[in-house]
Structure 1
Amino acid sequence: MEALSQIDAWDVPFAAAGVTRADATVATHGETGRSVPLASLSKPIAALATLVAAEEGVIDLDEAAGPPGATVRHLLAHASGLPFEGDAPIARPGRRRIYSNEGFQALGDHVAQRAEMPFADYVRAAVVEPLRIGLDPRGHPGAGMQSSLDDILALGRELLAPRLVADETHQEMVSVQFPGLDGVLPDYGRYRPLDWGLGVELKGDKAGHWSGSLTSTRTFGHFGGSGTFLWVDPDRGIASAALTTRRFGDWAKEAWPRLSDAVVRELG
C-alpha cells in the first residue's frame, strides 16, 4: 500500500505500520518483527485477557475490585475513580472517566490473585499462546508490554473476528460502559462525554480523532505514549497499526490521522 510509505517521512528512530482484514494482513511497511515498548497499547491486551478470565469463571466483571465501590468493569472502563497514578481515589466509582494506569495495575493484581498466577502468565495463556504471537506481557499490565507489528496486527484480526471470547463478550468490550461520563483523553483534552468500552477507547463522533476523519464512528482502539497505535474499524472490516520508538506528541497528532485517512482512501 502506498499510504503506508508515509512512515518513511516521520521523524522517528524506528517505525513500522500495517493494515489487516479479519482473514489476513493486507500490507505492511517497515520491520514487522521488531519488538518495541507498547506503553498504553498494552491495555487492550490486558483487557482481552481479563475478558477470557471472565468467560473462564476466574473473575466476574461486576465483582468488587480496586477502590471501595469499584468493580472489574469500572477498572476496565476508567471509571473506578482512581487517578492516572497513585492508589488514592479522586472520585467515586462511576462518576467520571478518569484515565488511569493505576486502575490497570489494580486490574492485573486482581486477576492474578483470583487466578493464583502472575498476570503476565495469565496473559500468555489466554492471549499470547492462542494467537501464536511473540508478545511479551511482562511489566505494568496497562503500560509495560512489548510487541512487534506482526503481533499487533494479529491482535487486530482477533478484534475484527473474535475467537478467544464469545461474540457477546466482544460486544460488551466495544460498547459504551457507564454512558455519559465526561473525561479527559490524554494529550487531547476534555470530551463530553468520553466514551470508553472495556479496555478500548470508542471513537464515536469525536472531532480530530487520532484514527483520522474517515474511519467509522464504530471504530475503537488505543494508542500508547511510546508512539504506538491500533485502531479497528468493524464497519470497514479493517484494522491498522503503527509502532514507533518516539514518544507521543504533536508529531503523532498530525501524522497518525493523515496516515489513517490515506489507508481508508486507498482501500476504498
Structure 2
Amino acid sequence: MAGTCRVEPDFQPGRGVQYQSMGFAILGEVIARVSGQGCADWLNSQVIGPLGLESTRLGASDDWFDGERPMVDRIAEIRTPPEQEGVDWNWNQRYWRQLGAPWGGLLTTPRELAVIGRMMLEGGRGVISPASVAAATCNQLSAMADVPEADRRCKPWGLGWRLNWPATSANFGDLLGPATYGHWGATGTLMWIDPDRDTVCVILTTEPQEPHGRQIAQLSNAISASLV
C-alpha cells in the first residue's frame, strides 16, 4: 500500500478516467479499515457466504492445498507471457493464487460468477441494496464536468463496472446495448450483464488478453448474436 501511494497520478482527480489496478488495491484497503476485516474476509461474510458460493474465494486459503484431492487442482493453468516465465510470482504460482489481489485475485467457476451476475440483475438480491446496484451501473462520469466530454459520453464507467462503449469493440464486442455493463481480466476473462435481455455472459479462458481484446470480443459477438 505504501508503494501504491508513492505512485504519481497520471492526472488530477476528477479530470480523467482510466482503469488502474492500484485503484482497486486502495479500495481493498478502505474496505479493510472501515470494516475491521481483511478484504477477502469481508467479501466472504458479505457476498460469497450469503450467495452460497462454495468454490469462490478472493485468494486461496491454505486448506485449498491440503488433502489427496486439493481444491487448488481445479484451478486452470494460465498460459503465462514470456515476462512471467521462471519467476515464483506468476499467475500459476501459489504466491499469486493466495495473494487475493482486489483487482484480479478472485478464484471462481463460471456458474458461481454467473450467480453474482444474476444478483446484480435481481437488484442485489438482499446482498447489496438496489440503490447500490443502481449507482454501480449508471454512468458516474456524466456529472464530472472536468472529464473530457468524449470520455463522459463514449467511455462511461459505473462504480467498478465498465459500461458498454458503443464506439469501442474491445472485449465486449459490437452487439451489446447501452445498458450492458461488465468487466474483463488480463488472463483472458470477461463477464457482461445485459439487463435488456436479462442475460449474464461469463467467459473464462487460459489465454491472456492481447492488447485490444479482439479475440474475446469476437467470442462475445458470437454469444450475443446467438441470443434470440
Q: What's the counterpart of residue 183 of structure 2?
A: 222
Matches within 5 A, 1:52-131: 87-131=7-51
Shift of 1:231: 0.4
Cα separation, partners in 2 of 1:101 and 1:254, compared to 1, 3 Å: closer
Among residues 100, 115, 133, which one is paired with 1:170 in the alignment? 133
Instruction: Tell me by how many angstroms 1:257 deviates.
Output: 2.6
* Distance (whole Å) between structure 2 residues aligned to residue 99 and residue 257 of structure 1: 18
CA contact (8 A) 2:166 2:174 kept: no
CA distance in 2, matches of 1:175, 1:214: 19
From 54, 58, 62, the counterpart of 1:137: 58
Extract unaligned runs of 5+ from structure 1. 1-65, 67-82, 184-189
Aligned residue identity for 1:135:
T
In the superposition, relative to structure 1, how do residues 123 and 195 fare at CA in structure 2: closer, same or farther (>3 Å)?
same
The answer for the alignment partner of 2:198 in structure 1 is 237
- Separation in structure 2 between the aligned mates of residue 122 and residue 130 of structure 1, nearest angstrom: 12
Structure 2 residue aligned with 1:157: 118
The Cα offsets for residues 183-208 of structure 1, whole Å up to 9 and x where unpaired, read as 9xxxxxx8974211000101142332
Tell me whether 1:260 sits opposite 2:223 in the alignment: no
The normalised TM-score by structure 2 is 0.70
Alpha-carbon distance in 2 for matches of 1:215, 1:98: 21
* 2:161/2:182 contact within 8 Å kept: yes
CA distance in 1, matches of 2:153, 2:176: 20
> For residues 169 and 191 of structure 1, what CA distance do their matches in structure 2 show?
21
Range moving further from structure 2, 240-249 or 137-146: 137-146
Unmatched tracts of structure 2, length 5 or more: 60-99
- 1:202 pairs, out of 145, 148, 163, with 163
8 Å contact kept, 1:203–1:209 = no
Q: What SS class does the counterpart of residue 229 from structure 1 fall into?
A: strand
Provide the residue aligned with 2:66 in structure 1: none
Deviation of 1:104 after TM superposition, in Å, equals 0.9
Q: Distance in 2 between matches of 1:182 and 1:135?
A: 38
Deviation at 1:262, TM superposition (A): 2.5
Determine if contact 1:182/1:194 at 8 Å carries over to the other structure. no
Cα deviation code 1:116-152 (max 9, x no counterpart)? 1111100111111111112111311112221111211
Q: Supply the distance in 1 between the matched residues of 2:114 and 2:198 (Cα, whole angstroms).
A: 13
**Contact kept in structure 2, 1:218 and 1:233, CA below 8 Å:** yes
C-alpha deviations, 1:184-239, integer Å up to 9, x for none?
A: xxxxxx89742110001011423324222221111100000000000001111101
- Output the CA distance in 2 between the equivalents of 1:159 and 1:136: 19
Matched position secondary structure for 2:191: strand
Cα distance change of structure 1 residues 267 and 194 upon mapping to structure 2, 3 Å threshold? closer
- Which of the pair has the greater relative contact order for Cα pairs under 8 Å at 6+ separation? 1
